[in-house]
Amino acid sequence: MNPIKTEIGYCTTERIYVRGHDLANDLIGKVDFIDMMMLVVLGRKCEGNERDMINAIMVTVMDHGLTPSALAARLTYLGAPEAMQAAVAAGLLGAGSVFLGAMENATLMLRDLVKSLPENAGDEQFLDIATAFYKDRRVARQTIYGLGHNIHVNGDPRIPALREVSQRNGYYGVHWRAMEQLEAVSGILGKRRLPINAAGAVGAMVADMQLPPTLARGLTLISRCAGLIGHVLEEQSSPTGQALWDLVLRQDPRNAVHS
């Protein structure tokens, strides 16, 4: 039998230890949320310019209004206002392959592409490899993550900002370049160029920071959790849940709608 223990923490009668640090004496009031998160998740505080990068990622993905995850949370809150954790959990459950989880998939895909790249590959060679990679995935009917957006059809406004943050902090590396090559390839091979989306940029950032791919999805879950708390608070003061339901019922004229 494996020993059942975690390196994350344990408690004695007198003390609580997190990653070997005394929580009360060494962490509370002394480290901030981001360092604590890195400590719990990776066993070490931020290094280099990681903090700015992580802040940028988390600011990017926190919220932008009535997304499916916000709607699922609000509709759940309507039925169970005594259990707001359930509304938040409902909102997180959609972070799968299509939406937020796509960031993890983009990280994995970029690491995969970059593996077949010779050291010191020039731009042309890079483009060739990206082209082959793109074609292979199309043939195998695998999603090419990180490209295209059905609202920001001319380019996702977050991408230049994320690129700038990455460059400023020294994390504009081979995965960012791979993502950009894929965008270029999409313009060459497809009907129209598919601009990089947030999943692509965050995927590249996590890969260029050499963080575990799981963290691409993980950071979005944490940040989106904050966004969902915002939706729950707004729902408390100016509820939309019932109106959402009525709006949907009204789409099918057979339905009577709540009076």
Q: How far is the CB of 209 from a copy of itself (least distance, A)?
A: 15
Q: How far is the CB of 135 from a copy of itself (least distance, A)?
A: 20
Within 164-193, the residues that bind a copy of itself by CB under 8 A are: 164-165, 168
Q: How far is the CB of 51 from a copy of itself (least distance, A)?
A: 8
Distance CA 65, CA 41 (A): 28
Contact pattern for a copy of itself over residues 63 through 92, marking x by CB under 8 A:
xxxxxxxxxx--xxxxxxxxxxxxxxxx-x
Q: How far is the CB of 64 from a copy of itself (least distance, A)?
A: 4
Which residue, 126 or 171, is less far from a copy of itself as judged by CB?
A: 171
Which residue, 8 or 132, is less far from a copy of itself as judged by CB?
A: 8
């699922």: which residue's tokens? Answer: 72
Distance CA 60, CA 216 (A): 12
3 state SS of 181 = helix
- Which residues touch 158 (CB under 8 Å, ≥6 apart)? 60, 198, 201
Q: How far is the CB of 189 from a copy of itself (least distance, A)?
A: 21
Helix (H) or strand (E) holding 17: strand 16-18
Within 124-163, the residues that bind a copy of itself by CB under 8 A are: 150-154, 157-158, 160-162
CB atoms within 10 A of CB 74: 25
Residue 44 binds a copy of itself, judged by CB under 8 A: no
CB atoms within 10 A of CB 186: 20
Residue 8 binds a copy of itself, judged by CB under 8 A: yes
Which residue, 49 or 131, is less far from a copy of itself as judged by CB?
A: 49
Q: How far is the CB of 193 from a copy of itself (least distance, A)?
A: 16
Binding-residue total with a copy of itself (CB under 8 A): 128
Contact of 134 with 144, CB cutoff 8 Å: yes
Which residue, 130 or 205, is less far from a copy of itself as judged by CB?
A: 205
Helix (H) or strand (E) holding 9: strand 9-11
């997180």: which residue's tokens? Answer: 92
Q: Which two tokens stand for residue 40?
A: 């719990």
Residues 214/216/219/223 CA torsion (nearest 10 deg): -130
Which residue, 188 or 233, is less far from a copy of itself as judged by CB?
A: 233
Within 192-251, the residues that bind a copy of itself by CB under 8 A are: 212, 214-215, 217-219, 221-223, 225-227, 229-234, 236, 239-249, 251
- Phi and psi (nearest 5°) for 255? -80, 135
Distance CA 207, CA 166 (A): 12
Which residue, 127 or 173, is less far from a copy of itself as judged by CB?
A: 173
Within 92-111, the residues that bind a copy of itself by CB under 8 A are: 92-101
